[in-house]
A and B are shown apart, each in its own frame.
Chain A
Amino acid sequence: MSGNGNSRVSSTESMDPKGSDERSIVNIADVRALGQEAAERLVAAKTQEALRFEAARWLGGDGRLRRLFERMKQIEPAERKAFGQAINGAKKAIEAAVAEAESRLRRDSLARELAVAPLDITLPGRCGAPGTFHPVLATGRELIELFRSLGFEAVSGPQVDTYGHNFTFLGFPKDHPATDMQDSFFVAGGGAGDARLLLRTHTSNVQVQEMHRREPPMAVVSAGAVFRRDDDITHSPMFYQLEGFHIAKGISFAHLRGTLTRFVQALFGADRAVRLRPSYFPFVEPGAELDISCPFCEPNRSCRVCKDSGWVEVLGCGMIHPNVFEPAGIDYERYSGFAFGLGVDRLAMLRYGVRDIRWLYANDPAFLSNFPAYVAGGA
C-alpha cells in the first residue's frame, strides 16, 4: 500500500466538507485550516498503522505539505513569506499531532496489555517442580564436603572386599563376634581365609586400602554403602557409613578431639557441647564414642531422641591401633593417627526425624517427596 494516490486520498476524504485539494488553497487561512484538519485526522487514528499512513500522507516526500510548498511560486511574492510561515506552522502542528498520537497509541496499547483478565496466579508453574534428594546420600555428600574443608581428601573404596581387608588387617581378633557368618554377607568366588570375599561390613576397609597404598602423612575421608545381615526397625542389611582418618608425625588424641569438635559444631551448631567417653573398637586405642549435647531437647519436655540423657551418640573414634599400622608397614613409633567412623543413616535419621531405618531404603515416592531438592532448602 502506498499513500500517494490522489484518487485514493480523495475517496477517503470524501467526508471533508470543505474539499481539501491543495489546488484550491489560495490563502494563509486555508493553510491553517489544512493543518487543523490534518491534526484532527491524526488524532483520530486508531492504530499505529493508520497513524503511519496518515502521517506519510501529510508529511511524506509526496505528501500534501510538500505539494503546498510547490505552490509557493504561484503565490504573490509579497505573500510568499507569510504563506511559507503558515505552511511551516502547519507542518509543526502536524508533527506535534503525530507525536502526540503516537504516544497516545502507545499508552492505549500498554493500557490494553495491562487490562487483560487476571491470571490465576495460584496454579502451579509449567514444569518447575524440583526432584527429590535422598536423605542419606545428601547427608553423606554434605559430610564429605565438610571434611574436605578440614583438609581431608575424599576417596571411595570397594564394596566387595577380602576378609583380610575388612577384618584381619584392622586387628579384629580371630573369632571376633563381628566376623560371624551371621553378621557378614559372603560372596562366592573368593579364596580361603583372608582371601574370602565379603560385602564390607564397615567403611574401615578404605583405611586399610589407603594405608597400604600411600605413605604418610595422609588425611582421607570416605563414605559409602556397608552391609550386615540384619533386617529390623533399627537395622537395614545395607546402610551408609563414613570413615575418616589422619596419619602424620605427632598426631595426638588432642587432634582427634579438635578435628571432631570442629566437625560437630559445623554440622550441629557452634553451641553444641562434645563429650568423648571410652569405648572399644578393635582398630583403635584409646577408643572413644563421641556424644553431643542433644540438639532436640526442649525445655520441660521428654526427649525421644536422647531419652532424657541430654547426650546423643554421634560417632566412634580413637587413635589408630598398632595392629593396623603394622601390616601396612607404617612405623608406629614414628607416626600416629586418629580415625573415626559414623553412621550416615543415623545422622540423617536424627536430622530429619526418620523413625524406621527401612523407610530410607524403600524408595516410596510419597516418603521421598519429604525431601524436595529446592535450592533454598537445606540439603
Chain B
Amino acid sequence: MRVSLTWLQELVGEHLQPDEVAALLTAGGLEVEAVTHVGAGCEAEVAEIVSVVPLASQDRALVAKSPCNVAAMGEGTAREGSRLSEGGVSAAQPSAPQVPGRVQVRTMPMCPDRGARVPNEGPHRGSNPVADAEKAQAFSVIARSINGLGVGDKVAFVRPGRQLKRGHRIEARTVRGELSEGMLCSAADLEIADNPHEVITLPDHAVGTLVADALRLEDYILELGVTPNRADALGHWGVARDLCALRGRRFEAPLGTTCASGTPAIALDIQAPSVCEGYAAVAWQSVCLRPSPWEVQALLNRLGQRPVSNIVDATNLTLLETGHPVHAFDRERLAGTLAVRMAVPNESITLLDGSRHVLEAGDVVIADAQGPQALAGIMGGATSEVNASTSALLIEAAHFAPESVRRTAKRLGLHTDASHRFERGLGSQGLAAILATCARWLQRLGAGGCCTGLTSYTSMMAPRTVQLRPARFAAFMGRAVAAERMAMHLRHLGCEVTLLADRAGQSAGEAPSALEVIPPDVRRDLTREVDLIEEVARLEGYETFQAALPALVGAGGIAPLLRREARAAAALRARGLGEAVTFAFISSAWLKIARAPASNWPLQNPLTDDRDVLRPLLYPSLLDVLLDAQRRQQFSAALFEIGTVFQGDGASPKPTERTHLAWVLSGTAPGWLDGSQEVDYYDAKAIVEMLAPAGALRFSDAELPAWLHPRQSATLWSTEGIVAAAEGAPIGWVGVLHPEVREALGLRGAIVVGEVELAALPGSVASALQDPPRFPAAERDLAFEVPHALRAETLVAALRAAGGETLVSVVPFDLYEDAALRAAGCRSLAFRCVFRDLGRTLTDEEVTSASQAMRVAGERLGARTRL
C-alpha cells in the first residue's frame, strides 16, 4: 500500500524524516519496501497568459518534440496508471484535436531567494538578480496545445534554465526559426493526473507562485508491504496509529463533519445480518459534481488513484485515509427500501466498470426495489452510478463478512481496493466516523450541499476481552516487561486495558497478575493472549529481546535414507556425474513415448499440459534433460538425479513416495587418452556397483522393462535394504536404452540408463573381519572360450567351488571377441585367481592342482580352456 508522508505527518502532527518513518514502521512490522521522493525540484511557476496565437498546422510535428517530450511522459504515466488503478478506466483521451500555438506569458521577476529551493542550480541563478528580474517579465512559448487557453488564464510555466523536475531542465530553443522560451505544463507533466495534453490552469493562485508550493507537489511515497493480518493498516489512519504507538503515544483520528439532520437517510432492511454486522448511510442533497482541486488530484495520483470527480475522489480519499471503503450511490436512482441481502440465484448486475455478472446464492448484494445496486464490499452498480447529472447522494459505509466478500470476488475475478480490505476483516463499530470523514472530504472538494439524513444499523456484539499475563509474556519472550508498560503499549494501539489484581487479595503496589484487554474493533486479528504478546513485543522492539541458546534435545541425528542420499550424491559426483534436479511432474505423453508405466496421480490443475502427472519413475525426466542437452549439441553427458517418485495404484488414499536414484550416460565415455569409446552396459553397471556390495545385489534378465535393450540390460534384485523390496519386483534396473525408445524420443548416440530405489539397496554385508595375511599369495590365470549361453556368474561360481579353501578371489581381467569366436558363439574370458593360506606359504604343486581342478570345473560347464 502507498502512504503519503505529508499526509501521515499531518495526521500525527509531527514533522518526521522519511528515513526515520521508514525505519520505525519496518521495525514495528509494517515493512516499508520503498521510499520515493516525488515532485522534487519542480520549478514551474504560475504565469498569466498575455496572448495566444495558433500555429500553422504543419508545425505540429515539430512542436510535439518540444523539451517536454510528450511521448516519453505519456508512456511513463500511463504505465503507472494502469498498474495502480486496477479495474479503473484507461487514461482519458483528448476530447478535441490538439491545436499548437504561440503563447505569451507574464510572470513575476524571479526572486533570488527562491533559488535556495534547489541548491545545485546553474551559474545564472542568483548571480545577477537584477538582469534576471528585468528579463524575466515576459516569455514567448510554443505550446503543444492551446485548447481552452485564453488571455488572462493562469498556467503552470517553466522558464528557460529551470527544471520541470529533478534532472529535467527546460532550455529556450528554436523551433523552425521561432524561439520557444520555456514550457507550459500539462497535468501529466506535473505528475498530477494522466492527461498529457491539456495545459492546466490555476485560477486560484497568484502569478509568480511556485506551482510545487501551491499544489503541494513535493512528497515522499512509502510503499508498505502490509501482511494479510493487518487489515487495519490499509489506510493512513492505521499507519498513523502504529507510528504514534511506536513513538510512545496514542493516535487521535481527526474529526469529520457530523450530520446534523435527525431524519433517516433511507429505509434500510438488513436481511442478511450474518454477513453484515453494521451498515450506515448518509443522504446528501444539492451536490455539485466537478473536478477536484489540482492539489487533491496530485495527492490521489501519487497514491495510485486516478482522479475522477470530486464525489468519487471524496470516497477514494476516505478509503485511503480511514482504510474503510465507502460507496456513493446516486440517491435519485434508488427506489424504495435499501436491503442488504443474499443474491437470488441467476439475478444479474452490471457494475461500475461495465462488467455484467450473474449472481449465485452465496453472493451478498445491496438492492433496492429495482434489484441489486451494488455487489457488497466489491463494487457499485452502474445503474446508480454517480454521474454529471447527479444532485443527491447516498453514501454507505458498512461491514461485510470477509469470507463472503472473498468468495464472490474470487469467483467473479474482481479484486478491488474495497474487496482487498473487506476480505482481510474490517470493523463495524466506527462507521459513523468514516461517513463523517467522507463528509469532510465532500466539503473540502467543493461538492456543496448538505447532509440531510443518517441511517445506521449495528448488530450488538459483546466486546471481546483477552487476558494477558505478564508472567507468560516473560517466559515466552525471555524478558519481562512491567504490566503497566504493557498496558501503556496496548492503550496506544487503542485497546482498553484493565489491570487485574491477584485473586488472593493483593495489596497496593504489588504486580498485577493479568491485564484484561478489549482490543479496538478495527484490530480483529487480536483474539488471543499470544496476539497481545506480539503487539507488546513489536512495540518494545524485537531488537530489545536478547539471544540465548536452548538446551540440546537431540544429538543431531539424520534419517538413514537422507544419509544415503548425501553419500550417493557425493560418490556419483566424484565419479564425474553431474547432479540434475527435475520437476516432480511430467508429461503423460512423454511417459508413454518413453514406455514408462503410466502415472496413477494426475494433477487436477496443471500449469501446462506438458506437466500434467506426478512421475512414477525418474528416468523419463533425465531423458528429457538429455534431449535438451543434445539440442545444445552436447552429446556426451553423465547425469544423475536423486528424487521422489510417486507410485501406488489409484486405489490407495495417497501416492507411495519413494526416493529413487537414476543415472544416464551418453556419447563417449570420459578418458580422452584411451581413444573415444562409446558408453555401454558396463559403464552404467559400474555406477550401481559403487553403491552397494556386489555380493548382495543380483543382476537378472527377468522382468526386464520395455524401455531397455532386451539383450544389453539387467534388472537388480535384493532383499536387504533399509526398506524391503516389493514382493517379486526388482529394486531397479540398468542397461542400454531400447533403440526404438531412443528413436521415438528423438535421442541420438549411445545411451545407457539405470534407476534404483535408494532405500532398497543393500547396505554393507556383515562378515568377520580378516586379519592382514602373513604369508604370500600365489596367482594363476585361467582363460576360457565361453559360449554365450554360459554366464560369467555361473562360471565364476563353479570356479570358486572347485578352487578349494585356499582360493581367495576369481576376478575377470580380459574379455575378448573376434570373428572366429563370434562364429563359434563364444567369447574369450580370462580370470585371475588368487590363492592364499593364512597359516603357511602354499607350494607350487598345491596351487597348480587347485587351478587344474578349476579348469576342469570350467570345462565341465562347456567352457574351453585357452592356452
List A residues at the B interface (Cβ < 8 Å).
Answer: 124, 126-127, 129-134, 136-138, 141, 144, 147-156, 158-162, 174-177, 180-181, 185-191, 195, 197, 199, 217-219, 225, 227, 229, 231, 237-238, 246, 248, 250-255, 257-259, 261-262, 275-280, 285-289, 319, 321-322, 336, 360-366, 368-369, 373
Contacts and interface: CB of A to CB of B under 8 A. Distances in A.
A254 B477 contact: yes
A280 B639 CA distance: 41
Contact of B559 (A156, A336, A365): A156
B629 A365 contact: yes
23 contacts: A127-B672, A130-B576, A133-B569, A134-B580, A153-B558, A160-B601, A185-B603, A195-B653, A199-B614, A229-B607, A248-B550, A248-B551, A255-B548, A255-B550, A258-B548, A277-B26, A278-B537, A285-B534, A319-B476, A322-B530, A363-B581, A363-B582, A364-B632
Interface stretch (B133-141, B222-230, B300-308, B836-844): B222-230
A187 B581 contact: no
Given A160-B657, A191-B653, A363 B547 contact: no
A253 B541 CA distance: 13
Interface stretch (B27-35, B85-93, B346-354, B692-700): B27-35
Contacts of B557: 148, 153-154
Looking at A127, A144, A195, A218, which has the most chain B CB atoms within 10 Å of its CB? A127
Contacts of A134: 579-581
A83 B18 CA distance: 118
Contacts of B639: 363
B478 A252 contact: yes
- Determine the main DSSP class of A at the interface with B: mixed
A276 B542 contact: yes
Contact of B584 (A225, A364, A373): A225
B740 to A, nearest CB: 25
Contacts of B643: 225
A255 B674 CA distance: 59
A251 B478 CA distance: 9
A124 B153 CA distance: 82
B127 interface: no
B604 A187 contact: yes
Contacts of A153: 554-558
Given A137-B569, A154-B558, A285-B531, A186 B603 contact: yes
Looking at A131, A231, A250, which has the most chain B CB atoms within 10 Å of its CB? A131
B657 A159 contact: yes
Contact of A252 (B475, B561, B585, B634): B475
B336 to A, nearest CB: 34
Given A160-B655, A246-B553, A255-B549, A361 B601 contact: no
A352 to B, nearest CB: 14
A365 B655 contact: no
Interface string B521-564: 00000001011011001100011011111111111111101100
B444 interface: no
Contacts of B31: 277, 279, 289
Contact of A258 (B549, B556, B600, B644): B549
B403 interface: yes
A368 B640 CA distance: 12
A155 B670 CA distance: 36
Nearest to B32: A309
A126 B671 CA distance: 5
Nearest to B642: A137
A254 B227 contact: no
A250 B650 CA distance: 45
A206 B556 CA distance: 17
Given A254-B548, A287-B534, A129 B670 contact: yes
Given A130-B576, A189-B650, A255-B550, A280 B227 contact: yes
Contacts of B403: 174-175
B554 A185 contact: no
Contact of B537 (A195, A251, A253, A361): A253
B644 A225 contact: yes
B574 interface: yes
A174 B581 CA distance: 34
A252 B477 contact: yes
B577 A131 contact: yes
B638 interface: yes
Given A229-B605, A255-B550, A277 B29 contact: yes
Contact of A255 (B478, B569, B576, B579): B478
Contacts of B582: 361, 363
Contact of A259 (B550, B566, B603, B671): B550
Q: What are the 5 A-B residue pairs with the smallest beta carbon separation, nearest first?
A: A254-B478, A278-B29, A280-B227, A148-B556, A127-B671
Contacts of A180: 410
B689 interface: no
Contacts of B634: 365-366
A177 B644 CA distance: 28
A261 B576 contact: no
B607 A365 contact: no
A257 B476 CA distance: 13
B60 to A, nearest CB: 41
Interface in B635-666: 637-639, 642-644, 646, 650, 653-655, 657, 659
Given A126-B671, A131-B576, A132-B579, A253 B478 contact: yes
Nearest to B226: A280
A322 B528 CA distance: 9
B384 to A, nearest CB: 29
A242 to B, nearest CB: 13
B83 interface: no
Interface string B66-88: 00000000000000000000000
Contacts of A227: 584
A148 B556 CA distance: 4
A223 B557 CA distance: 14
Given A156-B561, A229-B605, A287-B534, A124 B672 contact: yes
B670 A237 contact: no
A369 B577 CA distance: 11
Contacts of A150: 556
Nearest to B424: A177
Contacts of B543: 275-276
B673 interface: yes
A167 to B, nearest CB: 14
Contacts of B659: 156
Given A148-B558, A186-B603, A251-B550, A129 B576 contact: yes
Looking at B547, B558, B583, which has the most chain A CB atoms within 10 Å of its CB? B547
B614 A160 contact: yes
Given A246-B553, A252-B477, A286 B605 contact: no
A143 B542 CA distance: 25
A132 B407 contact: no
A181 B605 CA distance: 8
A321 B628 CA distance: 46
A321 B575 CA distance: 46
B602 interface: yes
B254 interface: no
B604 A188 contact: yes
B399 interface: no
A160 B574 contact: no
B49 interface: no
Given A129-B670, A258-B548, A366 B632 contact: yes
Contacts of B575: 131
B50 interface: no
Given A127-B670, A280-B229, A231 B614 contact: no
Contacts of A250: 475
Contacts of A191: 653
Nearest to A278: B29
B715 to A, nearest CB: 26
B671 A285 contact: no
A130 B574 contact: yes
Contacts of B37: none
Looking at B549, B555, B575, which has the most chain A CB atoms within 10 Å of its CB? B549
